[in-house]
Structure 1
């Protein structure tokens, strides 16, 4: 059995988060895939990397030693993958907009890679709300946008979904729901609920509450994800947010747990948008191809294998 980069990534995520289930959420894969990868890695090395308990996992002495080497290997791999991938035709300027959630939690890493791969493309960046993004795409004051595609309404805007991010229940550590399976909205309707408002998150939330003909017990509306994180972690309420913005710890160092809810709560979709009749320049095509290769093509290959 050969060591794989996937095993190292799953091991590092589990070591940093301290729970296999939360690492699986962070990696956007199944819990069983993480468990199998770690078990295979331990078999290959002939040592236990983690101590298991009902509270999660913690590194053994050998695990801590191996983690340092795993970091070095993954850093070297990332550096190799980030070698400039230049294209003589990919030059020009692209006016690229993003909404708050995309800009804050998704785009920076990819902007850095794009700047290395395509040094001849100059990107002018903007952050707008969805309505302003649609208006600026329509009047051609921006070229492309990375947005929450399910929120788009303008008939002249075309979109291409890149990936979906599950929305889950956020709750403080040791909440009574932690041991409950098959959670549904009816279970949490009386819980103090913190409602995020940025990027029309409150409107998206009310759609699935109304589908169940329920009304959440909202105690706070806020545009700050960190405020939601701290409120939940300190036991003041629960929230429903996507894996894209999830982090297991609040600023105070308190843990946040998550659970998947029933299928009434749909995932959040992230993708590219442009004016329907927009003529793509070589620079725009390069950016679109970068995201397609990173998100759409792996999904298509996975579908062919399954």
Structure 2
């Protein structure tokens, strides 16, 4: 048992769903599921009753939740002692893309502010091309980006999270109810809602190009919430990553996810900086934070 198990368990208990816990933690659903199973195996008792509607805690799960919260709270208190003594100070400029700022970065900015209270973080939201130019011209110290989109050989990257892409459809859709992998040929018969932000459309067409079918695009939009609403209302399907998945649209329509019969490249999130640059102490500290948060507990 480790802190990762406790953290994932508490997130699942509080959200009631593996998908929501995964979204809150910016990790894959399988990571949460595996951690909970490992914890149940070690404790020798089920902590949740699993159903189509989510995760309901057992009596043992409710008993364990208070202990898990107490342990995590003590860890946070211990961290604050170190935070007050942090020598890191100064200013760091970080660029990020739309998807990263919306679905990945905010909780980490909060933790960085707690860890390094004397460090000023200047954040800019830009597209990939502008971020690459800013890194190469030294306008930005670091960037948090979709590393799966970066190809510039002059930029160093470190991937932190690989978010799997799956098929989204209304919960009542036959694709969700059939309980088996959906073919690209089947998807091509449906209206397809195409997200365009952060080069999503370009990425989509790349992996569709490996199949013998093409999506029948009925809407192109830069709004993830528009995609969610259209899919939730049964007006089309889409393929997007677990990181941006939420089980409900804004108007309360349920959205399900399922697998496809062909592998789809993951959406990778990570850090980027100019290759060969001597990073400042502040930038090195931010790198170390993300290393500890993700790479040290990778499984």
Give TM class, smaller chain: 0.7 to 0.9
The alignment yields a C-alpha RMSD, in angstroms, of: 3.0
Check whether the contact 2:94–2:140 (CA below 8 A) recurs between aligned residues: yes
Q: TM-score, normalised by structure 1?
A: 0.82
**What is the correspondence of 1:246-285 to structure 2 with a 5 Å cutoff?**
246-285=245-284
How far is 1:241 from its partner? Answer: 0.7
Residue by residue, what CA displacement relative to the aligned partner does 1:256-291 show, whole Å, maximum 9, x if unpaired? 111122443110111111111322111111111111
Distance in 2 (alpha carbons) for counterparts of 1:93 and 1:22: 34
Gaps of 5+ in 2: none
Q: Evaluate the alpha carbon distance shift between residue 212 and residue 8 of structure 1 in structure 2; reply closer, same or farther with a 3 A threshold.
A: same
**1:119 Cα deviation after fit:** 1.9
Question: Against the structure 1 CA distance between its residues 160 and 32, is the aligned structure 2 distance closer, same or farther, given a 3 Å change threshold?
Answer: closer
What is the correspondence of 1:23-102 to structure 2 with a 5 Å cutoff? 27-29=29-31, 31=33, 34-35=36-37, 37-38=39-40, 43=45, 53=51, 56-58=54-56, 62=59, 66=63, 69=66, 72-73=69-70, 76-77=73-74, 79-80=76-77, 82-83=79-80, 84-85=82-83, 86-88=85-87, 90-102=88-100
Structure 1: gaps spanning 5 or more residues? none
Alignment of 1:111-126 (within 5 A): 111-126=109-124
Which stretch of structure 1 is more off in the superposition, 48-57 or 125-134? Answer: 48-57
2:151 equivalent to 1:128? no
Q: Residue 214 in 1 paired to residue 216 in 2?
A: no
Q: Cα deviations across residues 77-101 of structure 1 (Å, max 9, x unaligned)?
A: 563365253432x322111010011
Encode CA deviations 1:215-243: one digit per residue, 9 max, x unaligned: 10111111111111111111111111111
Deviations 1:204-225 (A, max 9, x none): 1110001114210111111111
8 Å contact kept, 2:156–2:275: yes
Tell me if structure 1 keeps the 8 A contact 2:147–2:269.
Answer: yes
Q: Provide TM-score, normalisation by structure 2.
A: 0.84
Q: 1:22, CA displacement in angstroms? A: 7.4
Deviates more, 1:175-184 or 1:100-109: 175-184
Work out whether residues 82 and 116 of structure 1, in 8 Å CA contact, stay in contact via their aligned partners in 2: no
Deviation at 1:31, TM superposition (A): 4.2
Q: Distance in 2 between matches of 1:138 and 1:34?
A: 42
Q: Deviations over 1:81-124 (max 9, x none)?
A: 65253432x32211101001111111111111111111222111
